[in-house]
Amino acid sequence: MARLAAVLVAAAVAFCWAAAAADALGMNWGTQAFHPLPPKVVVQLLQDNGIKKVKLFETEFGTMSALAGSGIEVMVAIPNVMLADLAGSSRAAKDWVKRNVERYDFDGGVSIKYVAVGNEPFLEAYNGSFIHTTFPALQNVQNALNDAGIGDRIKATVPLNADVYNSPPSNPVPSAGRFRSDIAGIMTDIVKLLAKNNAPFTVNIYPFLSLYLNDNFPLDYAFFDGGATPVNDNGVLYTNVFDANFDTLVAALKAVGHGEMPVVVGEVGWPTDGDKHAKSSYAERFYAGLLKRLAAGTGTPARPNTPIEMYLFGLLDEDAKSVAPGSFERHWGIFRYDGQPKFAMDLTGQGRNAMLVPAKGVKYLPRTWCGLNPNAKDMSKLGANIDYACSRADCTALGYGSTCNGMDTAGNATYAFNAYYQVQSQEDSACDFNGLALPTTTDPSTATCNFTIQIVTGKAASGRSGVAVVFLALLQILALW
């Protein structure tokens, strides 16, 4: 009997941890796709998989309307390009809050919890473009939330890249973490403002990028399942880069007097294509370890047994994203562009070998591809036409180390022509390329390379009811008051 009681207690504890993990887990929902899934389909996808939090990068009306009444907790966002206007005018901040927060904040509306003021505005790649506008914009937005009477439950924060803090080369351990010297003053001001308003610090942590940016980075240190040589920080052993990175931030917060500030991981994930390390097998390994730790409430050495609120990046692949940081940028989704899961994944962290629930009601274009015309006479302009197609569609899977790398010229041409053809919704004129291409009903896909058939977008795919249309119209009118 005692043994049975112990088993029941253990099961109850495991259930509680799993429930806590589900509550702490969210998704980044990006929409930079040529044929995005209809918002209602995506919201159903979130609900079917028990995902209770979502982080957006814009407050697009259709997306927000689809989230209304769903019960899903939302972090809405302000793009970096708006920071200057919001920094320079409290009136502009109040107007933004009215149109993008208050507009949806009602019983049965959108459950907004955070406002993300900018996105990684202090990236060194921006050359200081947002250094002088981020803090005043954050201040004005939080004041606007407070003035609207909702600042006690809706907090403004700034999702920051992990490069805003570091440890000195002379002592490269987490406990020596400090904010980057060129922005230390601004970071201190931001932290104090967050603390004053009981708002969290939001950070994006990407172990994949540690591997991508440094060929000498130890592979196993990017994961959670052991095998890496630990980093010894005065007797504290760090066996993975996520923990080390997170605790470097904790040390930096402590150095400015706020070591107990809550931290939200705004983005964490692993891409599945576009680089030699961007593989589904690695993504599955990474998420399995991360979710297991989240479910167990392991925390990190600096904050042991402390669940971490985090948003996986990302929900869906985005084939229209910029590839300036790398071709992998279009392949972060745990779901493909059409809402189909890529690999086994148990969001509860219990390690079950199960697939996520796929998107429902997805409508595809006809099963027609565009391929190289085998009877084409003049191939002298083939390269130029491939370049044209890839400049207007996603060909990142053809790159070195990617899933479609290594095909012959005909395969590369067919992939490029088809990618463009699908982006153009299979318009007849989009499969010609000066006589080099022809439509085909034979699928050219291989065991490793998928030749896409795009989804139907627009009114034909949305399936909105008359009630929904009236509801949207009502929200539009309310926004003008």
Which one is catalytic: 120, 284, 309, 329?
120
Angle at 369 between CA 364 and CA 373, to 5 degrees: 170
Q: Which residues partner with 310 through β-bridges?
A: 25, 265
Contacts of the segment 99-107: beta carbons below 8 A, 24+ positions apart: 99/479, 100/59, 100/76, 101/76, 101/145, 101/148, 101/150, 101/154, 102/148, 102/150, 103/475, 103/478, 103/479, 104/64, 104/68, 104/475, 105/150, 105/154
First to last CA, the chain: 65
Q: CA-CA distance, 433 to 430, in Å (whole number)?
A: 7
The catalytic position among 73, 102, 267, 329 is 267
* Sign for the pseudo-dihedral over CA of 382, 387, 393, 399: positive
Tell me which residue of 39, 77, 30, 46 sits closest to 316, measured CA to CA.
30
Residues contacting 323, CB < 8 A, separation 6+: 274, 329, 330, 396
From residue 237, how far is each of 37, 133, 198, 232, 378 by CA, in Å? 44, 39, 31, 5, 63
- Give the integer Cα–Cα distance in Å for 218 and 239: 11
Category of 111 on φ-ψ map: left (φ > 0), alpha (ψ -120 to 50) or beta? beta
Find, among 250, 319, 237, 297, the residue nearest to 37 by Cα. 319
By C-alpha distance, which of 181, 134, 176, 131 is closest to 156? 134
Query: Do 212 and 274 touch, CB atoms closer than 8 A?
Result: no
Q: How far apart are CA 84 and CA 329, in angstroms?
A: 27
- Determine how β-strand 303-304 pairs with β-strand 299-300: antiparallel
The residue to which tokens 């180390």 are assigned: 401
260 is a catalytic site residue: no
* Residue 58 is among the residues annotated as catalytic for this protein: no
> Do residues 301 and 18 make contact, with C-beta atoms less than 8 angstroms apart?
no
Instruction: List, by residue number, the catalytic residues.
Output: 120, 267
